[in-house]
Amino acid sequence: MTWFSSPLRADARCTPRRFALTRAQVRGVRRRGGRAIGGRSAAVIVVTIIVVVLFALGVMASTASADQMTVFSCHDPAGNAVGDYGWGQERFVNGLGGVLEDTCAGSGAGALVAYIGGQTSGYANLERVQWTFSAPPWATITHYALRLPESYTYPSHGAGEGQAFVNASDESDPDYDYRALGAGSLGAASVERTPPDEVRSVTVNASCDGFLGPCPGDTFISRIEVSQATFVLSDSTLPSVKSVGGSLLSGGPAAGVVEARFVALDSGPGIYSAHLVVDGVPQPAVALDNNDGLCQNLGQTSNGTRSFASPEPCAKNVEGAVTLDTSRFTNGAHHVQLFVEDAAGNQVSAFDGTVMFENTLPSPIGPGNPPGLGAPNGSGASEGASLRLAAGASVTRTYARRSLTLRGHLVGAQGQPIEGATLDVLQQPVDGGQGVVIAHALTGTGGSFSAKVPSGPPRIVEVAYRAFTEDPAYAAHAQISEYVDAGARLNVSPLSTSPTGTIVLSGRVLGAIPAHGVLAELLVHYRGRWEPFRTPRTDSSGRFRVVYQFEGAIGSFPFRVKVPGEQAGFAFATGYSASVSVSTQ
């Protein structure tokens, strides 16, 4: 590629702004009987601007329900790449001028892209390419929201023009959620809708509106991008259990740590978890088969639903088990229930009956020490316990993979494993402060445990153990310092321009942003290394926008964002966005 002294103009302007909604140029032309009413000059123009609120981190208008789940596509609301599960491609183009791209793999950057253009022969009316998200046979879409970082439609002068739209299966021309018709570049927009009727699919389309003539050849006609999509699916199916067993449900008295085993099936989104209820008190739920990571709750919803990267995230047939430390309960008869739940929250009772608990009362713990307060916490509970983590003293993680799993062992004063003990997982700021319980873990065979730590900022994470359930202090604890690199997303529009063309670089720094914003350094890969060229300050939500113009450069130019660490009020370490390339020719 050829480089000039600089790919960018020295007088390029920097203009911070808030997230833009669809501009007023979005238009819709209502048709009757295959003809435009009154011709192009007198056509009845129906303004179809959808006024949408910028939805933040999975906020939905629908009401939570036990038969619903949320699916994130391309990226989750925090900017983590989650793939394109549930989307299908469709091409209706007479030639090679239609393109469907999936660039979602980068965290915070990329999109599902549909565009047509460049075909020498041009395009006839409704030649198109499109992405369609389809609900599984057992589901309907009750709510959806899409972020559109960019759309472009060719402005016609007496012939066909470009068209880009988003619509659901219950909508038709011209009643689209979003429609750009011959309006040029419209920039970022959002779509959010709760359909009044049953919806099975949502389509994102780039096409030629050639009703008054074909769209021209050898030029860019239409483009639309979806960087993040959220779908709420309704599931009316119920899981089933075909067998139960294990030492808890064997029919005889139960002592120590026992288990309930089962085989569960589901024709909907798959089996997610199981939990016991003892004397009306729910015990911690156990996530079952994670299905290669797909059956993992991504969080980030406020409607009470679990969220996943796939519309069918979990295994349909699961052999599972849950454990119970009966020594934490009094001896005698107890009402025990076992429930199995699918990904959408539908649950079925697998067992409901009476079980006898018979445990030998523990001796005082430790030489000369009386028992603590409450019930013993685990089989072989000990005030002299030792808790060991498999990880080192610190760990550094990227923003996209800042959730953490800590593994270790809990043993007593004599080295004996403590099984069935409940551990607290706490976090506190790296620079000090009060620890807060954010999760729990349960020790299993050999005293081993696996503690899933929710995503968070840089912090100190501690796993702690109380020998007795009501003890005011912990008998053992271990901690690790977690450092997290800053996360950032970068969008560049357009991705192709002339050697003197203008581009807009916009994006967002992720995580908790101070009121005064943070600095985000923009870099371009120039002469074999990354060179900074602008350092805008974000607004309080982490957003920035910069306008630049090339100065005769020809080639392909990668851009990315660097977020310097240790800024005032910003706890994250230095991090980078994925790179976005712009070509000039």
Question: What 3-state DSSP class applies to 249?
Answer: helix
For the chain, the domain total comes to 4
Show the domain range for 530.
Answer: 488-584
Return the pLDDT at 581.
93
Q: Is residue 260 part of a domain?
A: yes
The verdict on 176 and 276 lying in the same domain is no
pLDDT at 143 over 60: yes
Return the pLDDT at 19.
26
Half-sphere exposure at residue 28, Cβ-oriented, CA atoms within 13 angstroms? 17
pLDDT at 4 over 70: no
Return the pLDDT at 229.
97
Q: Of 174, 205, 235, which residue is a domain's last?
A: 235
* Mean pLDDT of the residues in the chain: 82
Assign residue 555 the CATH number of its domain: 2.60.40.1930
The verdict on 160 and 88 lying in the same domain is yes
For residue 479, what are its two tokens?
Answer: 């901690």
For residue 7, what are its two tokens?
Answer: 């790919």
3-state helix, strand, coil in the chain (%, to 5): 5, 50, 50
Return the pLDDT at 271.
96
Return the pLDDT at 165.
96
Question: Are the C-beta atoms of residues 154 and 122 closer than 8 Å to each other?
Answer: no
Return the pLDDT at 107.
65
Range in 56-70, 186-200, 237-251, 481-495 with the lowest mean pLDDT: 56-70
State the pTM of this model.
0.55
Closest CA to 141 of 59, 86, 209, 208: 86
The verdict on 93 and 211 lying in the same domain is yes
pLDDT at 350 over 90: yes
Return the pLDDT at 354.
95
Assign residue 102 the CATH number of its domain: 2.60.120
Cβ burial, residue 291 (10 Å; 0-12/13-18/19+): buried
The verdict on 246 and 267 lying in the same domain is yes
The verdict on 103 and 78 lying in the same domain is yes
What percent of the chain clears pLDDT 70, i.e. is strictly above it? Answer: 85
Mean pLDDT confidence for 263-269: 95
Mean pLDDT confidence for 299-305: 88
The verdict on 494 and 395 lying in the same domain is no
The verdict on 104 and 215 lying in the same domain is yes
pLDDT in tens, 8-37: 433 332 322 222 223 233 333 322 222 222
The verdict on 74 and 184 lying in the same domain is yes
- Between CA 308 and CA 508, with CA 56 as vertex, the angle to 5 degrees is 100
